[in-house]
Amino acid sequence: MNGLTSLLMFPIPRITESFVDGIAHDLGWQRYLDAHIPRDGRLNADYLANGAIVELKIIEEEGIDKKDRQEKLAKLFSLSQPNSSDIDITFENIPASISREVQKIISMPIQGAVKKAARQIHHSAEDLERLTDNGVLLIVNNGYSYLNADNFERLVVQRCLNDSNRINYAFCVTVDYHQGDFDAYAFLTARCHSIRDEEPWDAEKALADRFQERFSDAMTKMMRDQMNPEFWQNNLPPVTDIRFERDGVQYVREAPVVPDSRFS
Number of structural domains, the chain? 1
178 domain residue, yes or no? yes
pLDDT band with cut points at 50, 70 and 90 for residue 63: very high
139 domain residue, yes or no? yes
In this predicted structure, the answer to whether residue 137 has a pLDDT above a threshold of 90 is yes
Structure-model confidence comparison of residues 83 and 52, the more confident one: 52
Give the global pTM: 0.91
pLDDT band with cut points at 50, 70 and 90 for residue 179: confident
Question: What's the domain range around 143?
Answer: 17-257
117 domain residue, yes or no? yes
pLDDT band with cut points at 50, 70 and 90 for residue 70: very high
35 domain residue, yes or no? yes
Mean pLDDT of the chain: 89
12 domain residue, yes or no? no
What would the pLDDT profile of 30-42 be if each residue is shown by its tens digit?
999 998 998 888 9
3 domain residue, yes or no? no
The per-residue pLDDT for 69 is 96
In this predicted structure, the answer to whether residue 264 has a pLDDT above a threshold of 60 is yes
160 domain residue, yes or no? yes
* Alpha-carbon torsion (17, 149, 111, 3), positive or negative: negative
184 domain residue, yes or no? yes
What would the pLDDT profile of 153-166 be if each residue is shown by its tens digit?
999 999 999 988 99
